[in-house]
Structure 1
Amino acid sequence: MNFHTRKWIKPEDLNPNGTLFGGSLLKWIDEEAAIYAVIQLGHNRVVTKYMSSINFVSSARQGDVIELGITATRFGKSSLTLHCVVRNKFTQKNILTIDEIVFVNMDENGRPTPHGKTEITYLRDRNLEDADRAT
């Protein structure tokens, strides 16, 4: 699993207990997962369909740096299932895990449409035309 996104926990990210507000973290995860899905599927018409149980393992405090790790676990006909781990950058202690985040590939009319992908691809492995379409 690659950890590409890092967040520095600031005062506006905290709940009344002085720890990271779960809603802020879930927003960051949904955004990062959507970007991952867009890159994997090659265009930006994807929607979040489902998130499995969200397991808050520990917390983060102001000043902590956290990192989000996301990887594809399953390619369906029109869907992409991801797994997410959030951890403290310095201690490597897990903060949260989500076993499944499902995105659905949509056509221009907002209907599910096949994406034709079957495995994880990396930008360095794609030809330039595919890379241009993903952006």
Structure 2
Amino acid sequence: MRFHSRKWVKPEDLNPNGTLFGGRLLEWIDEEAAMYTIIQLENPGIVTKFMSEINFRSSAKKGDIVEIGIEVVHFGKSSITLQCEVRNKMTRETIITIDKIIMVNLDEDGIPVPHGKTQIEYVKDRLNKND
């Protein structure tokens, strides 16, 4: 799994127990999944359709740095299915896992449309194709 972004847990991210609020972490995951999908499908018209069971395995506290890992598990006709793991950057302890996040490719009218992708592409490779 590739870890694409990091977040610093700040006081405003904490719940009353003094640990990272789960809703904040899910917001970060949803944003990361959307950005990853936008880059993969080359379309800013993306929505989250589904998230499977969310498994909270440990917590994070103020000052921790967490990193969000995303991996493609399936390319559908108009969707892409991702897997996610969030871990503590310093200890490598897993904080949360989500086995399935389905993101859908939309046209200008908000209708699901085929994206034509079948494998992961990297921006650097796209740039090299245009040379």
What's the TM-score once normalised by structure 1's chain length?
Answer: 0.93
Q: Which runs of 4+ in 1 moved over 2 A?
A: 127-130
> In percent, how many aligned pairs have the same letter?
63
The code of the aligned residue for 2:100 comes to E
Which moves more between the two structures, 121-130 or 24-33? 121-130
1:108 aligns with 2:108: yes
- Indicate the residue corresponding to 1:52 in structure 2: 52
1:88 aligned onto 2:88: yes
Using the size of structure 2 for normalisation, the TM-score is 0.96
Q: Superposed, which structure 2 residues align to 1:6-45 within 5 Å? A: 6-45=6-45
Amino acid at match of 1:47: V
Cα shift readout 1:84-133 (whole Å, capped 9, x = no counterpart) = 00000010000000001001100111111000000111111113688xxx
Q: How much is the aligned-residue C-alpha RMSD, in angstroms? A: 1.2
Counterpart residue type for residue 40 of structure 2: Q
The SS at the match of 1:39 is: helix
Return the alpha-carbon distance in structure 1 between the equivalents of residues 11 and 75 of structure 2. 38
Which consecutive residues of structure 2, in runs of 5 or more, have no partner in the other structure?
A: none
Unaligned runs of at least 5 residues, structure 1:
131-135
Q: Distance in 2 between matches of 1:128 and 1:41?
A: 17
Give the Cα–Cα distance (whole angstroms) in 1 for the partners of residues 4 and 44 of structure 2. 19
Cα deviation code 1:51-83 (max 9, x no counterpart)? 000000000000111000001110000000000
Matched residue type, 1:117: K
Q: Aligned partners of 1:6 and 1:12: how far apart in 2?
A: 16
- Aligned to 1:55, the other structure's residue is in SS state strand
